[in-house]
Amino acid sequence: MKNNRVLRSLSLAIVLSVVAVVVSPAAVLAYKQIDLYPGEAELDSWVHVDGTGFPPSDFTPGLEYYSHVDIYFSSQKAGALDEIDNDVSVYHCVKPGLLVDDHGVFSTRFRVPQQLGDGHKREEVRRGRHYVYVTCADSRIIEAVAEFTVIRAEITLDMDRGPVGAAVDVSGADFAARDDIAIEYDDYDVAIVSGDEETGGDGEFTCSVVIPESTAGVHIVVASDETGNEAEAEFTVEPKLMIAASEGLCSDTVTVQGTGFGCMKEVTVAFSGDEVAIDETDKYGSFEVTFSVPAKGAGTYEVEAKDEAQNRDTVDFRVGSAINLSQTTGHVGSDVTVSGSGFEPDAGITVTYTAEAMVVGSTVADANGRFSVTCIIPASRHGEQMMTASDGNNAASATFTMESTPPPVALLLTPEMGARAKSTTYFDWEAVTDASGITYVLQVATDEKFSSGSLVLEKGGLSVSEYVLTKEEKLSATDKESPYYWRVKSVDGAANESVSEPWSFHVGLAFSKLPTPARVVIIVAVVLAVAYVAYEVIRRRSYQ
């Protein structure tokens, strides 16, 4: 029997040994447990931790053994038997070297950290799910895990970088329900321009603010409620250059404004790489300066502003074509110098005059698209006329006003008022002068009003102050009661005209032009008249 008892004891020992070998470490670790309360809290709040099933300490005198554990807080998910640093690289050790009692139990508390900075990576603690891990103090192997939720007021911006003046939407969550909201930018209140001014029943809101004047770089946007919850987000201000006009002409004065540059920094403005202005920003990184557009060919150029800290921005400016006239009024034959800028460099330039595009000058632009050429104004109607310069791709126009002063009135000489004239009448008048040149129009009519139906002769384009009718133009004989009327128009090269007062004259019948019977009758009548006169003279003498 004694042998049987020994055999049974040996068998039991073997079975227990086998069980000890095949039981997994996870089964053993299942007895290690931690409990958190509360299971969710805000940053800096206290969290209590109770742990059971850990290696106990032994306080027996002479046999002392002290068991310690480390407690970690992490945003990364892991399980039992995973390792800190290998499987969890973002964490904060909230309780190092915590003593376990002789029953394998511990109880402690920690504050929810704001930053996870003890691991290989560093990050801010954000709202949402996190994990609490416990390891033995001399090991990195995770012995127990518990989940924890961070409750934290949080805001997000719909854009995290941009210029001064940008409208930014601020969205918040986990604030107090139905509480007024305030927004600050670098500790200064900013107005809510649209959207919610208080949270909803779920503690959320969305509103819009405008980024105020501030320097380049990172700035802090803070949202807070009346209960004291607050959250912040970063906004990076970028330099912004604005120009009053996006296009213009060479020599135009242009104003540029800059925001979001460095504080009290010298800023240089360049036009297509050429420095055109220097200024200094104010404490908010803003400036305003003017410059004259340099001589450039037509096209789009980059305007850049850059400060000492290398903050920079650019805008485009288009240089247009333009011409200037040395005089904008004049007469036919005036010398007018046309100066142009903003044309294609080294291109041929053609200058035209009036809507009919009469070419009056040509030249070649220089390397900066400038030119100058003198043109002689041709004959054209009085009033505004367009002068246009073109290089084939770019064109510009300016107005030239042709003089509108009528020339002097011509004084009529021959035939005189009421005189008798030949059918091939000779007309003569005093010459007049005009800066735009003079021509004359001779008119003869049967009506002193010179109505269109009464005109018997109109001779224009006369360059001298006299004219003799040709045989083809000869006038028919008239009497004094039905005279002809003549006048002269003086017309200058600008189509200005003056008209003389009309004079009347008549045309007698020429004897040689009478028919032969009529001439015979006249001759006989004259002979008879002479004979009668002679007879009367002789008769009277004989009586004496």
User: Each residue's pLDDT tens digit in the chain (544 positions)?
Assistant: 444 444 444 444 444 444 443 334 433 444 799 999 999 888 889 999 999 999 999 999 999 999 999 999 999 999 999 999 999 999 999 999 999 999 999 999 999 999 999 999 999 888 789 999 999 998 999 999 999 998 888 899 999 999 999 999 999 998 889 999 999 999 999 999 999 999 999 999 999 999 999 999 999 999 999 988 889 999 999 999 999 999 999 999 999 999 999 999 999 999 999 999 999 999 999 999 999 999 999 999 999 999 999 999 999 999 999 999 999 999 999 999 999 999 999 999 999 998 788 999 999 999 999 999 999 999 999 999 999 999 999 999 999 999 999 999 999 999 999 999 999 999 999 999 999 999 999 999 999 999 989 999 999 999 999 999 999 999 999 988 899 999 999 999 999 999 999 999 999 865 545 556 655 666 676 677 777 777 777 777 776 6
Give the model's pLDDT for residue 170: 98
Strands 335-341 and 322-325: antiparallel
The DSSP 8-state label assigned to residue 235 in this structure reads E
Spatial separation of the C-alpha atoms in residues 346 and 369, rounded to whole Å: 7
> How many CB atoms are closer than 10 A to CB 251?
13
Quick one: tokens of 343? 């044309």
Percent helix, strand and coil across the chain, each rounded to 5?
A: 10, 45, 40
Residue 455, strand partner residues: 445
Please choose, from the candidates 228, 229, 237, the residue with its C-alpha nearest in 3D space to the C-alpha of residue 210: 237
Give the model's pLDDT for residue 446: 95
Give the model's pLDDT for residue 128: 85
Q: Output the CATH code of domain 22-150.
A: 2.60.40.1930
Question: In CATH, which of 3.30.420.40, 1.20.910.10, 1.10.3370.10, 2.60.40.1930 is domain 322-402?
Answer: 2.60.40.1930
Residue 287, strand partner residues: 258
The secondary structure of 121-187, three-state, reads CCEECCCEEEEEEEEECCCCEEEEEEEEEECCCEEEECCCEECCCCEEEEEEECCCCCCEEEEEECC
CB 150 within 8 A of CB 128: yes
> 322-402: same fold as 154-237?
yes
Give the model's pLDDT for residue 176: 86
Q: In what order do the strands lie in the sheet with 426-429?
A: 412-414, 426-429, 466-468
Strands 217-225 and 181-185: antiparallel
Q: Output the CATH code of domain 154-237.
A: 2.60.40.10
Burial label, 524 (beta-carbon count in 10 A; 0-12, 13-18, 19+): exposed
Spatial separation of the C-alpha atoms in residues 123 and 438, rounded to whole Å: 94
Cα 386 to chain centroid, rounded: 29
Give the model's pLDDT for residue 43: 85
CB 235 within 8 A of CB 222: no
Task: Please name the amino acid found at residue 377.
Answer: I
Task: Please name the amino acid found at residue 204.
Answer: E
- What is the domain class of 240-319 according to CATH? mainly beta
Question: In CATH, which of 3.40.190.10, 2.60.40.10, 3.90.1280.10, 3.20.20.70 is domain 412-511?
Answer: 2.60.40.10
Give the model's pLDDT for residue 28: 41
Please spell the DSSP secondary structure of 18-47, one letter per residue.
Answer: HHHHHS-HHHHHTT-EEEEESSEE-TT-EE
Domain boundaries, the chain: 22-150, 154-237, 240-319, 322-402, 412-511, 514-544
Give start and end residues of each alpha helix (H) in 59-111.
none
Task: Please name the amino acid found at residue 459.
Answer: K
The DSSP 8-state label assigned to residue 452 in this structure reads G
Burial label, 315 (beta-carbon count in 10 A; 0-12, 13-18, 19+): middle
Give the model's pLDDT for residue 1: 41
Spatial separation of the C-alpha atoms in residues 177 and 200, rounded to whole Å: 6
